[in-house]
């Protein structure tokens, strides 16, 4: 992922938000979902998480992802498809905790989706990766999404992609890159806030 500053405004009233003791807003796991799939990979959490954040590498193992553009730390554009069919859409990362959690939302008007991925250590020293997705279609597509057949097909696709990632990262044995930033409500969190700037060039602050 790019290491550019993100100037995008926070997402107001994001569903599922809660406030922890440190006052930071964090998402709850999706209560309503159409898909939930888990796979265990034989690499440590840090390795699995670091590789997952390298979105541009997804086409190297995915059967449906054809390309990923990193626009900002919180914004990517994905191209997916089978054969000659292509679909391009933007995705915003709304929450990200290193080695633990990534949550996103599609920015399409119709259809759209929300998703999240959790990383948990296993007793064997590997990582359990859980992906949850909530599809949010409009109009007639909403009826199709509610069908058990559509849910099974989507779950099968997600499961297959997780297995592809498992084979990919276990084959590498180590991550090919990493982005360790934290995101809250669609904004990158900086460990050391910048000091106030003078409104007049070259004038000191204070």
Alpha carbon distance 30, 136 (integer Å): 13
pLDDT at residue 143 tops 90? no
Alpha carbon distance 132, 115 (integer Å): 6
pLDDT tens-digit map of 60-98 = 999 999 999 999 999 999 999 988 889 999 999 999 999
pLDDT at residue 6 tops 60? no
Alpha carbon distance 69, 63 (integer Å): 17
- pLDDT category of residue 7 using cuts at 50, 70 and 90: very low
pLDDT at 183: 95
User: Can the peptide bond before residue 111 be classed as cis, meaning omega within 30 degrees of 0?
Assistant: yes
| Percentage of the residues of the chain whose pLDDT score is greater than 70 | 67
- pLDDT category of residue 29 using cuts at 50, 70 and 90: low
What is the pTM (predicted TM-score) of this model? 0.75
Helices 148-172 and 45-52: crossing angle in degrees, nearest 10, is 110
pLDDT at 35: 87
pLDDT at 138: 55
| Percentage of the residues of the chain whose pLDDT score is greater than 90 | 55
120 compared with 34, residue with greater pLDDT: 120
Say how far residue 108 (Cα) sits from the centre of its chain: 16
Q: Are the C-beta atoms of 154 and 133 separated by less than 8 Å?
A: yes
């Amino acid at each position: 992922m790019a290491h550019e500053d993100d100037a995008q405004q926070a997402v107001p009233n994001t569903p599922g938000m809660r406030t922890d003791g440190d006052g930071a807003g964090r998402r709850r796991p999706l209560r309503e979902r159409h898909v939930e799939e888990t796979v265990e990979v034989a690499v440590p959490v840090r390795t699995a998480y670091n590789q997952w954040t390298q979105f541009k590498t997804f086409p190297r193992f995915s059967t449906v992802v054809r390309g990923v553009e990193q626009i900002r730390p919180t914004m990517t554009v994905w191209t997916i498809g089978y054969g000659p069919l292509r679909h391009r859409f933007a995705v915003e990362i709304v929450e990200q905790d290193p080695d633990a959690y990534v949550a996103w939302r599609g920015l399409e008007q119709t259809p759209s989706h929300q998703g999240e991925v959790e990383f948990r250590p296993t007793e064997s020293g590997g990582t359990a990766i859980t992906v949850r997705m909530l599809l949010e279609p409009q109009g007639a597509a909403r009826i199709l999404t509610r069908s058990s057949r559509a849910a099974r097909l989507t779950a099968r696709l997600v499961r297959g992609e997780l297995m592809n990632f498992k084979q990919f990262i276990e084959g590498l044995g180590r991550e090919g890159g990493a982005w360790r930033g934290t995101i809250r409500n669609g904004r990158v969190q900086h460990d050391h806030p910048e000091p106030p700037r003078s409104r007049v060039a070259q004038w000191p602050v204070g």
